Amino acid sequence: MDAFLLQVLNGLDKGGAYALIALGLTLVFGTLGVVNFAHGALFMLGSFCAVTLQSLLTLERVVLDPERLTAWGTPMEIRTPYIVDWFGDFGMTLIDWSVPLAILIAIPIMLLLGVIMERGLIRHFYKRLHADQILVTFGLAIVLQEIVKSQFGANPIPQPAPAMFAGSADIGLMLGFAENAVVYPWWRIIYLMFSGVVIASVFAFLQFTTFGMVVRAGMADRETVGLLGIDIDRRFTIVFGLAAVVAGLAGVMYTPILSPDYHMGMDFLVLSFVVVVVGGMGSLGGAVAAGFLLGILQSFASMNEVNSLIPGIDQVVIYLIAVVVLLIRPRGLFGREGVMEN
């Protein structure tokens, strides 16, 4: 039972990340009709917002100590972060909390990047074939990741969670299990809650605001909304920016779980597309539900009991489900009738 619970938690946590990325993907596809292969790169750029903030906060004053030499004979460098010089313990706290604080810079940066990406490049491909859209967005993703690699290198860069969330929570004890039977990292619990809040916020924004109502109307019938005199293109540009923000925030908060590197977006992109296809292209609810569903299934497939029955199932389970869904219900679990069915 404890192993079962742990894998459910793992699945939900993983599913949270899938759902956040897939949500943005399907939002862009539903509004603009664009298959955005650069969406994984937005997740990666979000994580590098956290890296950038940490780098800024840890900018150091370097003093050479002529008394001590390095192994290669140059004076040893004594490094102190400026922020610690200026603010003492408060400076240390800011560095410790750099990941959550990065949310504050990630929102405007990702919004701006999303708008620039849509206005500068992607809008020129609205009337082109999906194949063209895939090629240009995939190319853009490669360019973005190479830029990041040239600036930050290829190695993963550790982004620790704030010290108070570094340990694990004894969830089992809260649920009546023995002590330490079900422990789960605090940061992963926070990530799960965070993804829930972001998903709920996006749905609330689309459901309960006038802007959201217009966007939903545009998703259903773009031409009619346009005929009513509403500048739907401008709103869709903002939706693209919103999708970039959601992917970016998912990336920022994921950094203590997975040390960011330039390639992490590509690692998530394929899985997220599978999530979107299983959930139904253009279906926001489908993307979220499929994200959590596939996350949980992937976790269960990795259990030793399952793997000993069907070796290697953990590595293919998501794709097997996608194949089955596409064969039985091509529009996906929650997809609109007609989408992907012809």
Residue in 2, 105, 190, 340 binding other proteins, rule: CB under 8 A: 2
CB 114 within 8 A of CB 45: no
Q: Which is nearer to other proteins, 29 or 254 (CB)?
A: 254
CB 118, min distance to other proteins, A: 28
**Applying CB under 8 A, does 174 fall inside the site for other proteins?**
no
Tell me how far CA of residue 312 lies from CA of 96, 303, 307, 308, 315, in angstroms: 39, 11, 6, 9, 6
Residue in 75, 88, 120, 167 binding other proteins, rule: CB under 8 A: 167
Give the number of other CB atoms < 10 A from CB of residue 119: 15
Give the number of other CB atoms < 10 A from CB of residue 58: 16
Residue in 95, 183, 326, 339 binding other proteins, rule: CB under 8 A: 183
Tell me how far apart the alpha carbons of residues 150 and 133 are, in angstroms, rounded to a whole number: 26
User: Could you give phi then psi for residue 116, rounded to 5 degrees?
Assistant: -65, -40
Which residues within the stretch 143-162 sit at the binding site for other proteins (CB under 8 A)? Answer: 149, 153-158, 160
Going by C-alpha positions, the residue among 4, 218, 190, 225 that lies closest to residue 103 is 190
Q: Which is nearer to other proteins, 100 or 160 (CB)?
A: 160
Quote the tokens at residue 52: 């950038």
**Applying CB under 8 A, does 188 fall inside the site for other proteins?**
yes
CB 231, min distance to other proteins, A: 41
**Applying CB under 8 A, does 314 fall inside the site for other proteins?**
yes
Angle at 18 between CA 283 and CA 34, to 5 degrees: 45
**Applying CB under 8 A, does 173 fall inside the site for other proteins?**
no
**Applying CB under 8 A, does 13 fall inside the site for other proteins?**
yes
Tell me how far apart the alpha carbons of residues 113 and 84 are, in angstroms, rounded to a whole number: 31
Residue in 62, 66, 67, 72 binding other proteins, rule: CB under 8 A: 72
Which residues within the stretch 28-67 sit at the binding site for other proteins (CB under 8 A)? Answer: none
CB 29 within 8 A of CB 331: no
Residue in 315, 320, 323, 324 binding other proteins, rule: CB under 8 A: 315
Q: What residues line the site for other proteins (CB under 8 A)?
A: 2-3, 6-7, 10-11, 13-14, 70-74, 77, 149, 153-158, 160, 166-168, 180-181, 183-185, 187-188, 256-259, 261, 263-264, 267-268, 298-299, 302-304, 307, 314-315
